[in-house]
Structure 1
């Protein structure tokens, strides 16, 4: 399949299980060297399912965009979630950008990121920000190739372990 057959569609609450499954699969493939195997193998599926169910049913959907990328309108390839945060000094949060491993490198992530940027621009926003796990060098390299700039690090906790989340920003006038 090629990027020519890629479509982006808005997610609904009914898509929560699909988004959760893609999110878990992405973490299981990407975070193997960063998070405990027990969390990735035994807990992440249920944890992401509960998280996405609650998020997609939560009020405030007008402040967020969740898009699902599909190849040939049937094969899920990834998703993006971008959300306006109240009182954020860094702009709009690009909270999730995941391309399933089988579809990485063909432009899915870039298309999802551009859609998030367009959504934020249309709302008059000046900047996006995201967090990426320290040690996730492929994602860091991807963001830096797209023009994102490192702006700080924050301690966090994930899968029962302490981690460092690196914050990157993207000025929307940079496009």
Structure 2
């Protein structure tokens, strides 16, 4: 893994978080999401999205001289309050494959365990084979739930895992 440290995000991280999100949204999802769906998020709309979530329960990974390289947002599952949930996991495309995603996801799991959760869920686009393989390597498995959000128009699969 690249030398990175994790810390809770603060309001001063909004621009960096927006940058990482947009890089993933427009580059990592280029072959997955239709162009008009990728165009939903511009600098302004992405900043508003991350401002709305108020950077709550968001950990960032940063490296000296490179700034924020990734982030994970987590909390309570909105459909199952007895379960933790990973809302977002993004790693800058230029930093993918270095272990940051695993590190961020592990840290989120530890924080969820500290809050008393024994398991967690997350949603992933069904056609995102790279993400599905990544999560499977870390013990996340489909639990049978699916959805298609109107804005994104692509099926998603809910994954679940027991937390260590």
Q: Give TM-score, length-normalised by structure 2.
A: 0.89
Q: Which consecutive aligned stretches of 4+ in structure 1 deviate over 4 angstroms post-superposition?
A: none
Q: 2:157 is matched with which residue? A: 166
Q: 1:76 is matched with which residue? A: 68
Relative to 1, partners in 2 of residues 1:87 and 1:30: Cα closer, same or farther, differing over 3 Å?
Answer: closer
Equivalent runs, 1:15-94 vs 2, <5 Å: 15-40=13-38, 42-45=39-42, 46-56=44-54, 61=56, 65-72=57-64, 74-85=66-77, 88=80, 91-94=83-86
**Distance (Å, rounded) in 2 between the aligned partners of 1:22 and 1:125:** 28
Unaligned runs of at least 5 residues, structure 2:
none
- 1:17/1:52 contact within 8 Å kept: no
Aligned residues: 163
**Displacement, 1:52?**
0.6
Find the residue that maps to 1:44 and give its secondary structure. Answer: coil
Relative to 1, partners in 2 of residues 1:90 and 1:133: Cα closer, same or farther, differing over 3 Å?
Answer: farther
Unaligned runs of at least 5 residues, structure 1:
none
Deviates more, 1:77-86 or 1:162-171: 77-86
**Displacement, 1:14?**
2.9
Relative to 1, partners in 2 of residues 1:74 and 1:9: Cα closer, same or farther, differing over 3 Å?
Answer: farther
Alignment RMSD? 2.0
**Displacement, 1:17?**
2.5
Q: Give TM-score, length-normalised by structure 1.
A: 0.83
- 2:124/2:158 contact within 8 Å kept: yes
1:141 correspondence with 2:138: no
Relative to 1, partners in 2 of residues 1:75 and 1:26: Cα closer, same or farther, differing over 3 Å?
Answer: same
Find the residue that maps to 1:43 and give its secondary structure. Answer: coil
Give 1 or 2: higher helix fraction. Answer: 1
**Displacement, 1:170?**
1.1
Relative to 1, partners in 2 of residues 1:161 and 1:75: Cα closer, same or farther, differing over 3 Å?
Answer: closer
